[in-house]
Amino acid sequence: MYPQIFSAAREVDQAFLIILGFSVLILVLVTVCMLWFLWRYNFRRSPRAADIRGNVWAEIIWTALPTAIVLGLFWTGWTSFKAMRTIPEGAMEVQVEARMWSWKFTYENGKTSPELFIPLDVPVKLALSSRDVIHSFYIPAMRVKWDMVPGMETDAWIQSDTLGEYDIFCSEYCGLRHANMITKLKVLPGEDFETWLNAAPGEATKPRGLTVMEEFGCFDCHAMDGTGDIAPPLNDIAGTTRTIILPGGEKRSVTVDAGYLKRAISNPGAEIVDGFGDDMPPYEGDMSGEDMDAAVNYLLGLDEGGAPLAAPVHPGLRLAEEEGCLMCHVTSGDSTEDAPSLDGLYGSEIRGRVSGEEQTGVADDAHLHTSIVDPSAWVADGYDDVMPAYDDLDEETLEGLVSFIKSLGGSR
Q: Which residue, 101 or 404, is less far from ligand CUA as judged by CB? A: 101
Q: Is 158 in the site for ligand CUA (CB under 6 A)?
A: no
CB of 104 to ligand CUA, least distance (A): 13
Distance CA 4, CA 140 (A): 8
Pairing of strands 124-130, 92-99: parallel
* SS3 state at 170: strand
Q: Is 181 in the site for ligand CUA (CB under 6 A)?
A: yes
CB of 133 to ligand CUA, least distance (A): 7
Q: Which residue from 141, 158, 174, 218 is in contact with ligand CUA, where contact means CB under 6 A?
A: 174
Distance CA 345, CA 367 (A): 11
CA distances from 198 to 109, 373, 411 (A): 8, 31, 35
What is the CA 157 to chain-centroid distance, rounded? 18
State the sign of the Cα–Cα–Cα–Cα dihedral 306, 308, 314, 316.
negative
CB of 155 to ligand CUA, least distance (A): 19
Q: Is 135 in the site for ligand CUA (CB under 6 A)?
A: yes
Q: Which residue from 178, 242, 263, 318 is in contact with ligand CUA, where contact means CB under 6 A?
A: 178
CB of 178 to ligand CUA, least distance (A): 4
Q: Which residue, 176 or 224, is less far from ligand CUA as judged by CB? A: 176
CB of 151 to ligand CUA, least distance (A): 16
- Site stretch for ligand CUA (CB under 6 A), options 28-36, 38-46, 165-173, 309-317: 165-173
b/e burial code for range 287-316 (CB count within 10 A of at least 16 → b): beeebbbbbbbbbbebeeeeeeeeeeebeb
Distance CA 396, CA 215 (A): 40
CB of 385 to ligand CUA, least distance (A): 19
Please list every residue from 80 through 119 that binds ligand CUA, using CB under 6 A: 98, 101
Q: Is 295 in the site for ligand CUA (CB under 6 A)?
A: no
CB of 187 to ligand CUA, least distance (A): 23
Long-range contacts: 21-25, Cβ < 8 Å, 24+? 22/69, 22/73
Residues contacting ligand CUA: total by CB under 6 A: 9
- Site stretch for ligand CUA (CB under 6 A), options 63-71, 173-181, 367-375, 380-388: 173-181
Distance CA 124, CA 116 (A): 11
Beta bridge mates, 186? 117, 165
**Beta strand segments in 324-404, E:** 349-354, 357-362, 379-380
The answer to whether residues 98 and 181 touch, using CB atoms and an 8 Å cutoff, is yes
Distance CA 361, CA 350 (A): 5
In which element (H, E) is residue 183 found? Answer: strand 182-188
Tell me, residue by residue from 317 to 336, as one string, x for binding to ligand CUA by CB under 6 A and - for no binding.
--------------------
Q: Is 8 in the site for ligand CUA (CB under 6 A)?
A: no
Q: Which residue from 15, 119, 143, 172 is in contact with ligand CUA, where contact means CB under 6 A?
A: 172
Q: Which residue, 177 or 262, is less far from ligand CUA as judged by CB? A: 177
- Site stretch for ligand CUA (CB under 6 A), options 171-179, 205-213, 262-270, 316-324: 171-179
**Residue numbers of the site for ligand CUA (CB under 6 A)?**
98, 101, 135, 170, 172-174, 178, 181
